[in-house]
Structure 1
Amino acid sequence: MPALEVLTYDPNEPNLSSTQRAAEVLIPPYRSSHRPIPLLRQLSDLRMVQLLSAGVDEWIGDVPTWVTLASARGAHAGPVSEWVLSAILAQLRQWPALVRFQDSGVWAHRRFDADTLAGKRVLILGAGSIGTAVARKLEAFDATTTLVASAAREGVHASAELSDLIPGHQVVVVTAPLNEGTRKLVNAKFLSTMDDGALLVNAGRGQIVDTTALVAELQSGRLRAALDVTDPEPLPPGHPLWGCTGVIISPHSARTVPGTNRLCYAVAARQIQEFMTGGIPSNAVLR
């Protein structure tokens, strides 16, 4: 980008150089993105914080209101929606059980109950770039989707309708951002409303799901789950979730495939370009 000077920094170092302190835009790292938060007080000329994540929950409480905060919304839609599809298919086609049979050297013909995605109704909590990408991919498998967001719009239901929408869906996918409206949204009451045998897929944030309530449903065998995020996270050794046979867990790695970092920086570059030319970045957070 012409006229843009790029300065590198170590997010683990407590002090910036005089040159670094003059920066007007800060890009935190994707992993453990909160590490540079203490550096904010040293950046007196800061005008924008551009994240590489789709969510802003780790930063929104620390960035001053006069500083533009923008996400990398859109960059993660492809990789994460692909993970969601793989997780749903793995659970429906019983791949965890098949791998266990394989590890034991057992030819398990007719010893497991596989299911099909065709004809399933899927409720998607979060109608942003990831949620809509999941919906598009599900159409190819002849599944029917219902999208839910904080406010209604064409083709999307409002969260106020959620309690009436849950029954009748065999899969519930969480791709919503974490905020005060979504924290513990998937609680004991929510889970009890899900159909028997339904599958919960969380690719959003771990704190959106009440872990204790989910463990109870999984241990009873009434529900199944596929989780890329957990609460707490990382999930500690010995946690009850590890022992639930009806769940598959990945270590917050749904977006971790080749090319995702390039997608994130491409979005970041567009956001910064919009900001430098006097516009409001499309991914800017309204506060």
Structure 2
Amino acid sequence: MTADVWLPLPPEEIPGLPDAFAYRFWDGGPDYPADPADCAYYVVPYMKGVDIAVRPLAAMTGVRVVQTLSAGIDQMEPGLGALAPGVLLCNARGVHEASTAELTLALILASLRGIPSFVAGQDKEEWRSGFYPALADKSVLIVGYGSIGAAIEDRLAPFECARVARVARSWRATARGPVHPLTELPELLPQADVVILSTPLTEQTKGLAGAAFLSRMKDGALLVNVARGPVVDTEALLAELESGRLRAALDVTDPEPLPAGHPLWHAPHVLISPHVGGSTSAFMPRAKRLVVRQLTRFAAGEPLDNVVLTTS
């Protein structure tokens, strides 16, 4: 009997899928396309929220692989306990690097160069000339140096930064220089003009950018969050923004979506984009290539890429 594969896109829109499976299209709607117990490979609907992502897991008694189309896997964690042992959870490494790194540079440049002020000035027909900070000669700290962090550094290269420092869970060497462990953050933060958060959301990184972290950033520094909203303590950040000591550019917030009336909307020196780091025209072709590559390997019995964990 042919195993089912659940896809969040119609299979006819994904050229190159192997013929070994029965493909079922499910984008998070109320009705399932088939019996979840027959699903061997589940590709999670993208940007549909935790409730939809984990809803079928308990009934997927035969699933062997859960494939996200997001770089993070935090939205799947509430449902992992419903899975049998030995299920592979794979992320979308290779899909979001270009888009997220691109937006990171856009947020940095827009914030430093005063673009939001210029837009407001255009609305009021005001010519807001003057001197503004440049990215050139700035010291940048990337907190979370996986594939997205590395892609961000790729795009920083032409901007003549004085220094780029890298932080991850543990020390390692790269062609560009050392990656420092998280334990060295207290010494690195006061040296940075721009601090970029691109780390996964884990128990270790939840609230990482709290009051102590922010207090060690230098006066006037810019915090850029393209990771997950809960990596930053919103109340602590609001206090720093309202004092005028720090600036921020945020693609993600906590809570998210940011509700109407939340003080972060109108805090001084903050630029907010609505979690669009990965949702660009670059997403779909890369996501389709990932799905085809993974399913081709799965059909051939070959090891899969991007395995984050195996359930136990």
Q: TM-score, normalised to structure 1's length? A: 0.94
| Secondary structure in structure 2 of the residue aligned to 1:69 | strand
Asked if residue 172 in structure 1 is aligned to residue 195 in structure 2, the reply is yes
For 1:11-160, what aligned pairs fall within 5 Å after superposition?
A: 11-13=28-30, 15=32, 17-18=34-35, 21-34=37-50, 35-63=52-80, 64=83, 65-110=85-130, 113-143=131-161, 144-154=163-173, 155-160=178-183
Secondary structure in structure 1 of the residue aligned to 2:180: strand
Distance, in Å, in 2 between the alignment partners of 1:274 and 1:126 is 29
**What is the aligned partner in structure 2 of residue 270 from structure 1?**
293
Contact kept in structure 2, 1:60 and 1:69, CA below 8 Å:
no
The alignment status of 1:220 with 2:240, answered yes or no, reads: no
1:174-213: CA deviations, max 9, x gaps?
1100000100000001000001000000000000000000
Q: Is the 8 A contact 1:199 1:226 kept in 2?
A: yes
Work out the percentage of aligned pairs sharing the same amino acid.
42
Q: Could you report, residue by residue, the CA deviation over 1:221-265 in whole angstroms, capped at 9, with x for unpaired residues?
A: 110000000000010111110111200101111222213122122
Counterpart of 1:26 in 2: which secondary structure?
strand
User: 2:260 aligned with 1:242, yes or no?
Assistant: no
Contact 1:16–1:42 under 8 Å retained in 2: no
264-273 or 235-244, which deviates more: 264-273
The Cα of 1:73 is off from its aligned counterpart by 1.1
Give me the TM-score of the superposition, normalised by structure 2.
Answer: 0.87
Unaligned runs of 5+ in 1: none
**Aligned partners of 2:134 and 2:157: how far apart in 1?**
14
Letter in 2 for 1:265: K
Is 1:54–1:73's contact at 8 Å kept on the other side of the alignment? Answer: yes
Deviation at 1:140, TM superposition (A): 0.8
Note if contact 2:143-2:195 (Cα within 8 Å) is conserved in structure 1.
Answer: yes
- Number of residues of Structure 1 aligned to a counterpart in Structure 2: 284
Aligned residue for 2:196, secondary structure, equals strand
Offset of residue 152 of structure 1:
1.1
Counterparts of 1:142 and 1:12 in 2: how far apart (Å)? Answer: 48
Alignment partners' CA distance in 1, 2:53 and 2:71: 17
Query: Contact (CA 8 Å) 1:51, 1:72: kept in 2 or not?
Result: yes
Q: Deviations over 1:246-286 (max 9, x none)?
A: 00101111222213122122123223333333333221113
Deviations 1:32-80 (A, max 9, x none): 2430412112222111111100000011342334211000012100011
